[in-house]
Amino acid sequence: MKRYMEETSMRVNPMERYYIKIGKEQGIEEGIEEGLKKGIEYGIEEGILQMAVKLIENGQTMNYATKISGLSKEEILKHKIIKDHYLKMNESQESSTDDTA
């Protein structure tokens, strides 16, 4: 009896199946489009961050990198390489000012 109840409750008429199928397809298409948009946005942001990283690695100042990239200093400092590089530069500048004093 239980099996019969499960089978009858799972039966769906053909039109409902059609709409379910169409709904799934549209959902998948919209999901793919949204995923692509987010992926492209993320890729652009990462590219800009990498450009700022390269500028700083090549000896440019943090102010110049923020001006060119449009990112804030905090956003650039989130990158591990830059954080380490920037800390080393500050330490060397502090030690050179201590030597002259």
> By residue range, what is the domain housing residue 39?
2-100
Residues contacting residue 81 through CB under 8 Å, at least 6 positions apart: 53, 57
Question: Rounded to whole angstroms, how far apart are CA atoms 36 and 41?
Answer: 9
pLDDT tens-digit map of 70-97 = 988 888 888 777 777 667 766 776 666 5
pLDDT at residue 19 tops 60: yes
pLDDT at residue 3 tops 70: no
Count of domains observed in the chain: 1
pLDDT class for 40, splitting at 50, 70, 90? very high
